[in-house]
């Protein structure tokens, strides 16, 4: 069965976003090694899961990247890869390469996991959607990009868990730009 991977930027104090969505706390000057880590992760997947609320911003951001930008190759991948938008409200998708998942979150994810493909599935956000995935124990790989900053309050992805969630560290790597990527999997 295909794996569902989470890639998310997180602060030292465990938040994935500031209260009003400001992006000023994140490290943006990624070194080449970190870029390679992300490229590898991106190339290992062929499906992106998205929460409905962040889809519009996600698609319009990557659509606006110009061909001369450093981000262009990545943007193209984000736009070209099939995306599944999880929603309870939308009836049809307004975006290219995008389908809707309207049913129970666990059933929908398992349906995608069972699809016949050598590549895996990835999710980047948003916070509420990822919280539901974690609560339902649907994440197979956690790639937490720990940014060198603390933000005091904000959005979390672990707020919905009922008791504690034990993970197993697969790999931890420190990057020159100050980000530490911790790769965890659910503890058996």
Q: Given the rule CB under 8 A, which of 29-37, 48-56, 113-121, 155-163 is the region that contacts another protein? A: 155-163
Residue 95 half-sphere exposure toward CB, CA atoms < 13 A? 25
Instruction: Say if strands 180-186 and 141-147 run parallel, antiparallel, or are unpaired.
Output: antiparallel
Within a 10 A sphere around the Cβ of 166, how many other Cβ atoms?
A: 9
For another protein, the closer of residues 124 and 184 by Cβ is: 184
Omega prior to 18 cis, within 30 of 0? no
163 near another protein, rule: CB under 8 A: yes
- By beta-carbon proximity to another protein, the closer residue of 66 and 164 is 164
> Binder to another protein among 1, 12, 90, 106 (CB under 8 A)?
12
Looking at the Cβ atoms of 47 and 147, the one nearer to another protein is 147
145 part of the interface to another protein, by CB under 8 A: no
- Going from the C-alpha of 40 to that of each of 9, 24, 74, 154, the distances in angstroms are 17, 26, 11, 29
Residues 17 to 56: which contact another protein by CB under 8 A? 18, 24-25
Q: Which of 59, 123, 146, 155 binds another protein (CB under 8 A)?
A: 146
């Amino acid at each position: 069965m295909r794996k569902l991977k989470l890639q998310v930027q997180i602060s030292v104090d465990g938040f994935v976003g500031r209260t009003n969505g400001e992006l000023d706390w994140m490290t943006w000057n990624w070194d080449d090694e970190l870029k390679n880590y992300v490229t590898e992760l991106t190339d290992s997947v062929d499906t992106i899961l998205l929460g409905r609320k962040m889809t519009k911003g996600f698609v319009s951001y990557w659509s606006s990247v110009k061909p001369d930008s450093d981000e262009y190759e990545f943007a193209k991948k984000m736009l070209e890869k099939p995306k599944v938008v999880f929603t309870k409200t939308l009836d049809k998708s307004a975006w290219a390469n995008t389908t809707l998942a309207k049913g129970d979150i666990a059933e929908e994810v398992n349906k995608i996991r069972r699809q016949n493909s050598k590549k895996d599935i990835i999710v980047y956000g948003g916070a509420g959607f990822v919280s539901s995935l974690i609560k339902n124990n649907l994440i197979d790989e956690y790639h937490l990009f720990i940014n060198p900053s603390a933000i005091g309050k904000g959005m979390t992805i672990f707020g919905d868990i009922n008791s504690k969630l034990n993970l197993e560290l697969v790999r931890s790597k420190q990057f020159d730009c100050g980000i530490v990527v911790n790769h965890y999997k659910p503890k058996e």
